[in-house]
Each structure stands twice: as structure tokens, then as C-alpha cells.
Structure 1
Amino acid sequence: MTTFSQVNYDSSAYNAYRPTYGEELYEKIYSFHRSHNGKFDNALDIATGTGQVAIDLSKSFKQVYAVDISSTMIQNAIKNPNITYSISSAEDLSQFSSNSVDLVTAATSAHWFNITEFFNESFRVLKPQGTLAIWCYGQNILKDYPDYKHLILNFLKDEFGPFYDKRLSVVENFYRDFKFSEEMFQNVKWEIYDGEETPDVEPLFTNEWTVPRFVKYIKTWSYYKSYMEANPNSPDPIDKLIADLKQRFKWKDNEVLQVHWRSVLILAERRS
């Protein structure tokens, strides 16, 4: 079970402080979808959390179905007349008929799935000419502070090493481990932004945050939550990290940070 699916997980903080997905991302998805005559009737968002993607999809699709394994997330999800929420795993979409949806999305979640079973179910529920869109953001980058990358990686290793879920290594590899069956999907497109080796690719996920707002985001990390549950009486390691960063980089609380995220976007067309 992931931290996010636990009953006591603070879904309101997740909803409030995680980065949002902007119009540029959806336009990439919709442009790809239109390119093979995909329809805009039904969309299915997997691991919807509190519905951030579902609410965006509801602006372009007639009906959106959104599922999550966590009842807590579903109870606190963003409501809209054309969104139907339900509890379901990514690997068992049996509540949905075959060839019934035009778009399947999985945002910053596919690394938690049994990916083979998820691909099988996505192929089944998608209509011919439907689209599978998978994306994820990874470790954040502070644009004006290149040294931050190494500092944060060392911090994560030293403080949260025992709480690091090995499935997150799939994110670090930009989902390159995912294998798409040529019998199920065609025209598979990858867009990777790693902040260093892809200078011609613009970041999909960016924010301008003050230091306190940045801290609130960091405290939604799953391994931070796991650490604090295991060490409730220990000093907060994030507070210490931020104090060290403030001293090193001369930050004030009102400092505005240009936050980017390493990311991957995968788009695939369902074969007829």
C-alpha cells in the first residue's frame, strides 16, 4: 500500500500543495488525440487522487470517470456534474465496458501500478483510435540554484533512505522501463525533460513559489510522511533542510523560487 492510499493521509494538503498541470500539457494530449480522430465523449482518469486531472478533463470531455484506490481521496475529490468518481485499482477496471472510453490518463501514478495489467485494461476499455496518456513529474529543480539538485539528492539519501520506495526508481528513469505491446498500441510518443540533457525541451511543470509555499509542497512527499510516522518525536528533517538552504542561499521567506520538475509525458494510440 502506498502512503497516498492510507486512510489517514492528508488529502487536503495533497490537493492544495501539489503542483498543478497546466494548459500546455493538455493541449499536447488533445492535439495528439485529434491527430488520429479521437473523440471527446468519455475520459477515464486513473489514480485520480482528489480529482485535479478529472476537473481539467471535464472542460473538454462530455463525461469523465475518475477512479482511485483510496476512499479518502475519493471522498475529498473535486466535484463537478460531469465527473463520476469510484473506487478502483488501475489493474481492475471491470466496472467499465470494453471499447467505452476515448482517453485514459494516469498522472504521476503509473510507477505504483502493475504496468502490464494496467496496459491490458487500458487497451480493453479504450475505443479504437482512443488515446492513453501517462505523465509524471519527478525531482524538482530550482532554476536559479543549480547546487540545489545535489544538496537535495544527498538529503533524501541521508534522511529518508530507509523510507524510499524502490518503485520510485521508475520515475527517475522517466518510465523508460515501460514496454508497450505493438499489438495494443501504436504511434507511441515520449517527451522527457530532465533539466540538463534535454536543453531543447521546455519544462511542462513550473511554478513560482515563496519559500513557505515550497516547504508545504515538500511536506507532501510520501517518504517524508513515512519518516514522520515512524519518528513522531524526532525533529522535522524538512525544517532543518530549509534552514540550511536559507543560510546557504541567503533566502528570505518572501524569496520567489522558480521551481521546475523533471518530467515525462507518454502518448499512445490504441490499435484498432
Structure 2
Amino acid sequence: MKDNFSKQSKAYAHFRPHYPATLYDFFYTHINSFDKALDIATGNGQVAAELSKKFNQVHATDISAKQLAEAPALTNVFYKIEAAEESSFPDKYFDLITIAQAIHWFDFDKFYTNAKRMLKPHGVIAVIGYGLLSVNSLVDPWLLHFYKNITGPYWDKERRYIDELYITIPFPFTEITPPALKMEYEWTKEQFIGYLNTWSAVQHFIKANNSHPLSAGLLQQLDQLWPDNRLCKISFPLLLRAGHQ
């Protein structure tokens, strides 16, 4: 598993979108017990914190100590630095395993073998993510240009699984058909730019070129499309594969 987010862990915690309550409600309806949950590649603990409201215990793992340093301290959430493929928890231990915006980085075979071992009979596994956001008919062409032409060559090859909406990842479980879900917010232009700066491709561009991909010219173009202090409605398509043993 790659660690592309330690360097911008504070920005990641501040600017990354949060999953809606309807997502959690969906897979909660398929869970028989709310004793223990595991959130793998928890990052800043966003999903783990939500699960803690429902489960007696939540274990949350990540390979990045800097990311875990941004996670909330909660009495029933237990953080651990550990790779997804090497989780060391007992067999048949968890009622729910979640992986949010991270499955595309994993060694699928190793991870799924371990996940099946740790999941209780009839336990649920939920692979969650979100695709490229949309703003409006003015900003979206600018965004697509930045995504495909400017940062495009700097995305890791695994990004394709997100572009393919997680449809092409292996998923060796009895699948539960999810509802169509999305995440919607009202953002300022500054929030939008803050989110773009969390992209791993932006960090790869900076490292390769010693310059920022959001050039003065690109920012001037964006200023013409999105005035200062104006809120715009933005939407992320929500990706979800859920199933049980």
C-alpha cells in the first residue's frame, strides 16, 4: 500500500469531503451485531469516528502516523499503524469492515484473504469512495482540463479504479446492491482550491517540477468563472461496493 498523503495530512483532514448519513444507514441495515468494526486505511479517522457512534468498539488502522495524528481521540476507537494486507486481528472478529477511498492502493488478493479471515460469518464489508467532483457548467471544463491535461500524467496508475467508479475492482463477496448516493456541499472557491491541493497528483507534480500545477494563469481563469466569496453547489459521485461472506 502506498502512502501518498502524509505530507498533506492537515489539509487532508480539513478539506476532504465527509460521507453522508445515508451511506452508513444503508450498510447498518445489513448488520446483525454492532460489537466491533474495523476501518482500514482510516486516514484522519473520519469513518472511524462515525462508526464509534454505533459500535461498542472501533479499530482503525493506517500506515501513516501523520494521518493518525489528525484523527479524533475517542474512548471506543483504537488506532494502530498497520498495513491493510497485514492486519493482525483475530479470526472472525469484526461485524463490519470498511475501507474508504483506499481500496485501489491495496494488493487485492492479500487484502481480501485477510479480510475474509477477520470478518464474522454474515459480517459486512463496505468499500467506499468518491469520484471526480462536479461544480457547474462553467467550472467543470476548467476542472476537467486541470484533472486530465495538467495533473493527468502525475496520477498513480491505481487512480483508474476511481475513474471506473470501483466497478472494475475485484470483490469476492456476496454483493448487496447499494442505492445511488452522492455527496453535495456548498463551497467557496477557497475550499475548492484547498481540496485540489490534497490530490496526490498535485504533490507528484510539485515534486517532479518544483512548481505548483495551479499556475497563476489557471487561477486567473478560475477567478473569472468563480467570483470570490460566492458559494457554489458541488457534488461528488459516491462509490460503494458492499457485501457479506
Q: TM tier, shorter chain? A: over 0.9
Report the Cα distance in structure 2 between the residues aligned to 1:21 and 1:12, rounded to whole angstroms: 18
Please, which of 200, 216, 224 is the counterpart of residue 222 of structure 1?
A: 200
For residues 107 and 96 of structure 1, what CA distance do their matches in structure 2 show? 19
In structure 2, which of residues 51, 57, 60 is the aligned counterpart of residue 63 of structure 1? 57
Equivalent residue for 1:269? 244
Q: Which residue of 2 aligns with 1:257?
A: 232
> Mapping of 1:32-111 within 5 angstroms?
32-33=30-31, 38-93=32-87, 95-111=88-104
CA contact (8 A) 2:56 2:76 kept: yes
Contact 1:190 1:264 in 2 (8 A): no
| Equivalent residues of 1:219, 1:238 under 8 A apart | no
Query: Does the Cα contact within 8 Å between 1:101 and 1:126 map onto a contact in 2?
Result: yes
Match of 2:169 in 1: 178
Which residue does 1:131 correspond to in 2? Answer: 124
1:209 — aligned with what?
A: 187
Q: Which moved more, 1:21-30 or 1:236-245?
A: 236-245
> CA RMSD of the aligned region, Å?
1.8
Task: Describe the SS at the equivalent of 2:19.
Answer: coil
The counterpart of 1:188, out of the listed 143, 158, 176, is 176
Q: Tell me the percent identity.
A: 34
Aligned partner letter, 2:218: L
Is the 1:32–1:267 contact (alpha carbons within 8 Å) kept by the matching residues of 2? no
Contact 1:67 1:89 in 2 (8 A): yes
Q: Are 2:113 and 1:120 equivalent residues in the alignment?
A: yes
Between the aligned partners of 2:220 and 2:104, the Cα distance in structure 1 is: 32
Gaps of 5+ in 1: 192-200
Compute the TM-score of the two structures, normalised by the length of structure 2.
0.92
Aligned residues: 244
TM normalised by structure 1 equals 0.84
The Cα of 1:121 is off from its aligned counterpart by 1.2
Q: Distance in 1 between matches of 2:4 and 2:171?
A: 28
Contact 2:38 2:96 in 1 (8 A): yes
Distance 2:215 2:58 in 1: 37
Distance 1:148 1:253, change over 3 A: closer
Conserved 8 A contact 1:48-1:66: yes
User: Structure 1 residues 239, 2: CA separation in 2 closer, same or farther (over 3 Å shift)?
Assistant: farther
Alignment of 1:9-24 (within 5 A): 9-24=7-22
Q: How far apart, in 2, do the equivalents of 1:245 and 1:71 lie? A: 35
Shift of 1:161: 3.1
CA distance in structure 2 between the aligned counterparts of 1:170 and 1:136, rounded to whole angstroms: 10
Are the aligned partners of 1:102 and 1:130 in contact in 2 as well (CA < 8 Å)? Answer: yes
Retained in 2: the 8 A contact 1:92–1:121? yes
Structure 2 residue matching 1:171: 3-state secondary structure = helix
